[in-house]
Structure 1
Amino acid sequence: MNKTIALTRILLKNGSGQLTKQGKPLQKVLLGVLLVVVLIPLASAIGSMVSMFYDALNMIGQAGVLLGLGLAIASLVVFMFGIFYVITVFYFAQDVEHLLPLPLKPGQIVTAKFLTVLGYEYLTLLLLLVPLLGVYGYKDGVGVLYWVYAVLIFLALPIVPLILASIIAMAVMSFAGISRNKDRFRMFGGIAAVLLSFGLNMFIQRTLSKAMKPEQLQEMLTGGNNSFVDMATRSFPSVKLAANALLQEAQLSGLAWLGLFVGLSVLGYLVFVALAQKFYFKGVIGLSESGARRIRLSGSQLDKRTSQQSALKALMTKEIRVLLRTPPYFLNCVLMSLLWPVLMLIPILTQPGFKDMLGSARTLFDTGSATWLVPAIGLALLLFISGANATAPTSISREGAGFFVSKYLPVRYGSMIVAKVATGWLITMCGAFLVLLVALFVLKLPAAFLAVMLAIAVLATLFASLTGVMIDLWLPKLVWDNEQKAVKQNMNGLFNMLLNVAVAAALFYGLSRMGAGLWGSAFALLGVLAVADLLLVRLLKAKGEAWFGKIEV
């Protein structure tokens, strides 16, 4: 156990990012303040939403469904993000071949990696579960046992969904041994694992929605006594146990539910370790090897490949090629940007009435007092998607120890910065465009409004790319020993997402106070974003080259 804990600490410390290793003290303080300033309002907003839903559900005796639904959503988030974390930590870290010669048992290595992923998931659950459990407990006037159970459930809740994500990843990546091109298999294997997890999630939700008849749903809603909890907790077997433990905390049955919940989590972990020792090492050993093939070029082909082109085009081509051919970069930067439309389509495809419910949202276009919500919600979604993309905020960090080469190239630093901003903008804009395309078919948006939202998307994605590159210029993470640490264990991506979420929240609040209509709000957002982008461009033009020149490996 001591070796497992020690290895877990090393893995977490090794991927803790640049906050503990690089950067000036003032930069660390400013980024820490930004983290607190953004997280507190987000947690407060979630808490307010939980309070509002509690009051509404408590009137019909269904307040408990809030716990069940919240725990189910948290488990689903762990499952969806867990597949990325598992593939990154278990397969892209490329450290197993260094760990095997050490006096460590296979179970200790697997457990340490699992605990590392679990640690990352706790950061997500802090934002989701703490407001839920805290507000519900306060509103419901619970006893001391509730808070004890809540802590235990918070610690154990992500185990089962993370185990399911890990098993899916191992099932796909176990075929790595039969592939000759390991890099290509890592890329397509990661895509297959992600798509398989999405498919499984869609299958589960669609099966559950079909199993519940309308008359049963009506009976549950009007029955009181939290009868709707069973419906809300069907997605994961552990969620129902946890919800019942919290709802019955004052009774002996609550302790029994908690015991079953913890027991299921422990059993799931034991099954995972047994499967991992059998399949994980077969798929990961040799995965760091890469294949190559010789290509004989004719004179015309050589002339075509070595033809002169502009510096900006050459730099962008290099950036895009590296992103597409490096599995960790492709999975966390390119693929993640393209998955947002899929995430939007999952409830539409799995819940029969969800599309009709979204279609009714078009009434906002006709409601004078609420029309400002349409562009505000659209902007918030676009800024979140753009800010969550890691392409721009890791553009400098991805250079790693080879960053010094950029100092010797006969190209202006400004051109290199423009290429990184443009590449980040191109990839995030692809994701934003696909999201708008889904919204067009689902919400039947008017063509004129869609054109305005497309213009807003262009400015919003450019804003996120500019802020991302600026953050990475200030605090690059150039010391890493494998590519996944440059993107997945880089706090710059989190800072850029939080900054964009904060800007979205500020603009949302501003529009709510302004009281403008649909078109007034949309054009106001266009104006604000255009001015913000212009200021950031001028700032990068004035200071970017100086910041770039001060970076040292």
Structure 2
Amino acid sequence: MNKTLLLSKVMMKMHFSWSTKSDGQKAGTFLVGALFIPLLLMWFWFLDSIIGGLYQVLSPAGLSPMILAISLIMVSIVLLFTSLPSILTSFFFSEDIETYIPLPMHPYQIIFGKSIGPLVTVYGFALFGLGPVFLLYGMYASASIGYFFTAIGTLLLFPIVPYVVAGLLMMVVMRYANISKNKDRTKVIAGIFSLIFIIGINIVIRLNQDPENVSKDVGQWLTNQEHTIWNTTKFIPNAFLATEGLNGQLPAWQSLLAFIGFVAFTIISAGVFLFAGQKLYYHGVRGVSGGGKGKKAVDLQRNNKTRKPFWSYTWKEIKIVFRTPSFFINCVIQNLFAPIFLAIMLFLDNGIGELTGEIGSVDGKYIILGMVGFTLFILGTNPTSTTAISREGRSWFTNLYMPIKPSTILFSKALAAFFIQGISLIILFFLFAFVIHIPLVHIILWVLLALGISWFSNLFGVYLDAKQPKLEWSDEQQVFKARFVPLQSMLIQAFCFGLFIFVLWVAPFKGTPITATLLFAGIGAAIYITQRLLYHVAINDFHKIQ
């Protein structure tokens, strides 16, 4: 047990230690936390509308605990599918696997330690999804203090079972399917599958509807489907036992017994997971360092093309992103999620027809501001630039000895991210021009503004990554999931430009020309400032990046 705890402590320090973080990184983390509070308040408000409407419909019939049941079932499914790629990468495809295998450790001990990283993600989703639900339901039901203590215990234990199921599934697949020889392809498939699942959830819940209307409709449907819902819950034991433990309509002894059963089921599930890992893990990880790439003759003379260093480095960055599965998933595939999500919202309930019909009656000022605001949000969520330096990992030091100017390296990384972001802009262009039918003059202005926003966003992202790099990582996913720089960049851009757009929105003038002029001036100033900041890094701080 001491070895298990010691190994877990070492892995936890590797993931979350603050000792290697600079003062700027620590300040950035607190800044992200502060800027994240308004988003949490908006999420809380949205759930309050849903749960309040459901409680009004279900409470008179004594069916209000179904709110808890449905929430637990949905979160279980989300945790299961979001755990798959994290477990696959952490358990089998991380670069430090070969370091731990020779240690005098049992497989279950390594699994216990390797679970720390994925579990943080799982608990984050669970806290975000279940925490407000438990609190709001308790407030609407005027629950006792015992309910809130039980809710805290449930929140701490509930994510374990979906994680265990995902882990068992991955170990069985890796043991018998022998997909480690195609690990790059496996990573891409797992990431794409998770994104398809998330998009499917958004289609089902149809977020473009009014939350209160949705809650009333769902409440009426649940009233007629009581037995079906409860029978479905019983097939997910942890959700059923957790619901019974939180059900204030049951006798106290029965709720307590259900909660004890929930705790016991969770402990047994964790034990089964570790036991299965002891038997299956080494078999699945065997040969993981091998690849399935065939031999291919390369004509060096033919490929020896002369390019300027700036364009050669830019092309090198683009190829690395597209050829590395984790980078491809996070920088390219996830880059497509927001435009696709917009298209789904437009196609549901004839949203395209309604929006197209209203475009002609809207002043050009609001059309331009709306398009720019949405574009800023999409480009700000792309982590390509905010991981440009961190993606290098331990090989970053080679840039210090290359006969290339530091400014060339930094601006090449920004340009590579700019080209990758162009994929989203192309999709948005077709949506705005050929689906929503935005007037041509607004499309032309938007294209110019979007290109400026993209260039600023990538310059700013590279600057932040240069100030807060993460070069010591053993798993490519740590570049994206174990740091706050991408989120910090998005929130700072959203706050600054959001405030600027809001001021223009409420300003007492109308018309496209003056609005576009002010936007060009604001974006131009932002580009100038960020370029100067990046040049400052290239001149003074480039050799300090570590």
Coarse TM-score class (shorter-chain normalised): 0.7 to 0.9
* Cα pair 2:385 2:417 within 8 Å, conserved: yes
Amino acid corresponding to residue 469 of structure 1 in structure 2: V
Number of residue pairs aligned between Structure 1 and Structure 2 = 530
* Matching of residues 94-109 of structure 1 within 5 Å: 94-109=95-110
Match of 1:396 among 377, 389, 394: 389
| Alpha-carbon separation, structure 2, partners of 1:186 and 1:307 | 31
* Cα pair 1:456 1:526 within 8 Å, conserved: yes
Of 444-453 and 384-393, deviating more is 444-453
| Alpha-carbon separation, structure 2, partners of 1:311 and 1:51 | 55
| Alpha-carbon separation, structure 1, partners of 2:514 and 2:175 | 52
Unaligned runs of 5+ in 1: 210-216
* Cα pair 2:143 2:248 within 8 Å, conserved: no
* Matching of residues 503-514 of structure 1 within 5 Å: 503=496, 506=499, 510=503, 513-514=506-507
* Matching of residues 358-507 of structure 1 within 5 Å: 358-359=351-352, 362=355, 365=358, 382-431=375-424, 433-434=426-427, 444=436, 446=438, 448=440, 457-481=450-474, 483-503=476-496, 506=499
Give the secondary structure class of the aligned counterpart of 2:86. Answer: helix
Of 38-47 and 513-522, deviating more is 513-522
Residue 14 of structure 1 corresponds to which residue in structure 2? 14
* Matching of residues 162-311 of structure 1 within 5 Å: 162-167=163-168, 169-170=170-171, 173-174=174-175, 177=178, 182=181, 185-197=182-194, 221=220, 230=229, 237=236, 238-239=238-239, 241-243=241-243, 245-248=245-248, 251-252=251-252, 253-259=254-260, 261-266=262-267, 268-289=269-290, 296-297=297-298, 301-311=299-309
Of 48-57 and 187-196, deviating more is 48-57
* Matching of residues 120-159 of structure 1 within 5 Å: 120-159=121-160
* Cα pair 1:64 1:226 within 8 Å, conserved: no
1:21 CA drift (Å): 0.2
Residue 551 of structure 1 corresponds to which residue in structure 2? 544
* Cα pair 1:83 1:166 within 8 Å, conserved: yes
Residue 310 of structure 2 corresponds to which residue in structure 1? 312
Output one character per residue of 1:484-515: Cα deviation in whole Å (capped at 9) or x when no partner.
44444344234334434544754675577558
| Alpha-carbon separation, structure 2, partners of 1:228 and 1:509 | 49
Amino acid corresponding to residue 384 of structure 2 in structure 1: T
* Cα pair 1:379 1:456 within 8 Å, conserved: yes
Give the secondary structure class of the aligned counterpart of 1:60. Answer: helix
Residue 46 of structure 2 corresponds to which residue in structure 1? 49
| Alpha-carbon separation, structure 1, partners of 2:535 and 2:110 | 49
* Cα pair 1:413 1:545 within 8 Å, conserved: yes
Amino acid corresponding to residue 318 of structure 2 in structure 1: I
* Cα pair 1:92 1:328 within 8 Å, conserved: no
1:203 CA drift (Å): 8.7
Output one character per residue of 1:154-189: Cα deviation in whole Å (capped at 9) or x when no partner.
22332343344435544554467476xx4xx22101
Calculate the TM-score normalised by the size of structure 1: 0.77
| Alpha-carbon separation, structure 2, partners of 1:435 and 1:109 | 45
Identity among equivalent positions (%) equals 24
Unaligned runs of 5+ in 2: 207-215
Residue 212 of structure 1 corresponds to which residue in structure 2? none
1:532 CA drift (Å): 5.5
Calculate the TM-score normalised by the size of structure 2: 0.78
Residue 60 of structure 1 corresponds to which residue in structure 2? 57
| Alpha-carbon separation, structure 2, partners of 1:446 and 1:235 | 50
| Alpha-carbon separation, structure 2, partners of 1:71 and 1:507 | 40
* Cα pair 2:407 2:535 within 8 Å, conserved: no
| Alpha-carbon separation, structure 1, partners of 2:136 and 2:369 | 27
* Cα pair 1:92 1:484 within 8 Å, conserved: no
Output one character per residue of 1:468-497: Cα deviation in whole Å (capped at 9) or x when no partner.
211111121223455444444344234334
State yes or no: 1:37 paired with 2:34: yes
Give the secondary structure class of the aligned counterpart of 1:309. Answer: coil
Amino acid corresponding to residue 192 of structure 1 in structure 2: I
* Matching of residues 338-349 of structure 1 within 5 Å: 338-339=336-337
Cα gap change, 1:374/1:106 in structure 2, threshold over 3 Å: closer, same or farther? farther
Residue 214 of structure 1 corresponds to which residue in structure 2? none
1:242 CA drift (Å): 3.8
Give the secondary structure class of the aligned counterpart of 1:392. Answer: coil
* Cα pair 2:247 2:255 within 8 Å, conserved: yes
* Cα pair 1:72 1:236 within 8 Å, conserved: no
* Cα pair 1:385 1:432 within 8 Å, conserved: no
| Alpha-carbon separation, structure 2, partners of 1:236 and 1:388 | 37
| Alpha-carbon separation, structure 1, partners of 2:412 and 2:190 | 32
| Alpha-carbon separation, structure 2, partners of 1:447 and 1:455 | 15
| Alpha-carbon separation, structure 2, partners of 1:49 and 1:373 | 25
Output one character per residue of 1:294-353: Cα deviation in whole Å (capped at 9) or x when no partner.
6555xxx434322211222100111122223334333433333345566678x88xxxx9
Give the secondary structure class of the aligned counterpart of 1:410. Answer: coil
| Alpha-carbon separation, structure 1, partners of 2:341 and 2:294 | 37
1:130 CA drift (Å): 3.4
Cα gap change, 1:246/1:526 in structure 2, threshold over 3 Å: closer, same or farther? farther
1:47 CA drift (Å): 2.2
Of 139-148 and 455-464, deviating more is 455-464
1:42 CA drift (Å): 1.7
Could you say what the CA RMSD is over the residues aligned between the two structures, in angstroms?
4.6
Give the secondary structure class of the aligned counterpart of 1:390. Answer: coil
Give the secondary structure class of the aligned counterpart of 2:102. Answer: coil
